[in-house]
Structure 1
């Protein structure tokens, strides 16, 4: 049976103050790693959106110069494909960062369990969880509020990028169908199918990424053992 924070024996050999200092150092290290990761991810997203915006400007200027002829269609398909590739690579980075972020949160939850081993009286002052299981992870993400995780997931960076990339994928599909001489209905259907397919694919990838078991829970939420 896995020990809970109250049952786990305190570490031996060092004074409580020294142990607290070591735990705090690790805590700040995890916080710094988390901050740097998301700073890098946000920079990647900014670059991606800047390139997407610049592509629209290029297409507008190109259309003014040459009209909506074959050259314009080729240019539009090429730029849409490039933006989609860049967006997909950015989204892969976001998914990886999200998985790493969840592991970081679990690590900090374990540190809170260690703080409670040193002083169980601290428990009423924590709004985040000292448990390193799925329930503890979500309690920390939601900052202790008993709200649904749906809004948390729907408003996430990964879903935002999925929507943006799906719009680009749908546009690319419609452009290819139009360049092939398809009717207006086929062009619309191609765009919708490409966009919906991209969303479905990314949701499956995201679900599999987060469904993969992480490290074994050492401090599970009481009642979830």
Structure 2
């Protein structure tokens, strides 16, 4: 009788045999450094880039939704706090206990506002990184199909001029867009809250009214200027750590040009 094991082909060893390469295993005669990387077809490369693009879009949308919810919650708290102060003032006839209630409530609201402001600034920088990443993907699309560049409204250059073009397709991004942003809006609200808190503290310690107003105004303006300077410093720090893969073409004067979709 013939044994089954004598006629069945023996499975190759996992390591150290010549046939291991047919099963996706390395052999001792073929180091990993000698194997060539298979060439990826343009269609597969486009699918991989599109997958990354959709992932970035989803992450950007989620981040924007989260920070808008935080801003809405903060504004609801500010509104509720001011209404509560009015009701507490009517209930106590603005006696000696009202300043303590007002200062405590304003301090809590300002703390929440500062935390919200920190998150808004972080999200603004995160959004910039998403824009730069998607600009870089458009640059890769243009490498696969150079003729597609003229259809892009957003930029395909992952540098500062490219990000500004993506944020505003029809021209250079100016200061009106920055001043109207959610970040500056939150800074202005927090500056007003700090001014009210300083005015309440100085009035509680019986300072002259004109000095209370001066301290409140200067404190609010100082907070606003300091917050904007901090945001701008973090913005510049991001660019110091970023190396563009697709820089904008230089203009005649040597500076980076308009980062549009022109070839």
- How far is 1:147 from its partner? 3.9
Normalised by the size of structure 2, how large is the TM-score? 0.79
Identify which of structures 1 and 2 has the higher relative contact order when contacts are C-alpha pairs closer than 8 Å and 6+ apart: 1
From 199, 216, 219, the counterpart of 2:243: 216
Partner in structure 2 of residue 169 of structure 1: 194
Superposed structure 1 runs of 4+ greater than 2 Å apart: none
Partner in structure 1 of residue 230 of structure 2: 205
Partner in structure 2 of residue 55 of structure 1: 81
Partner in structure 2 of residue 32 of structure 1: 58
- How far is 1:71 from its partner? 1.1
The structure number with the bigger radius of gyration is 2
- How far is 1:184 from its partner? 1.2
Normalised by the size of structure 1, how large is the TM-score? 0.91
Partner in structure 1 of residue 112 of structure 2: 86
Number of residue pairs aligned between Structure 1 and Structure 2? 213
* CA–CA distance in structure 2, aligned partners of residues 76 and 147 of structure 1: 45
Partner in structure 2 of residue 7 of structure 1: none
CA RMSD of aligned residues (A): 1.2
**C-alpha distance after superposition, 1:179-223 (max 9, x if no partner):** 110111011101101110110110111011101023211110011
Name stretches of at least 5 consecutive residues in structure 2 with no aligned partner: 1-37, 257-263
* CA–CA distance in structure 1, aligned partners of residues 39 and 124 of structure 2: 36
- How far is 1:47 from its partner? 1.0
From 166, 174, 178, the counterpart of 2:203: 178
The SS at the match of 1:70 is: coil
The SS at the match of 2:162 is: helix
Change in Cα spacing, 1:209 to 1:114, as seen in structure 2 (3 Å) is same
Partner in structure 1 of residue 9 of structure 2: none
Matched, 1:18 2:28: no
**C-alpha distance after superposition, 1:100-156 (max 9, x if no partner):** 1111100000000000001011111101111011000111011x2114421110111
- How far is 1:173 from its partner? 0.8
Partner in structure 2 of residue 3 of structure 1: none
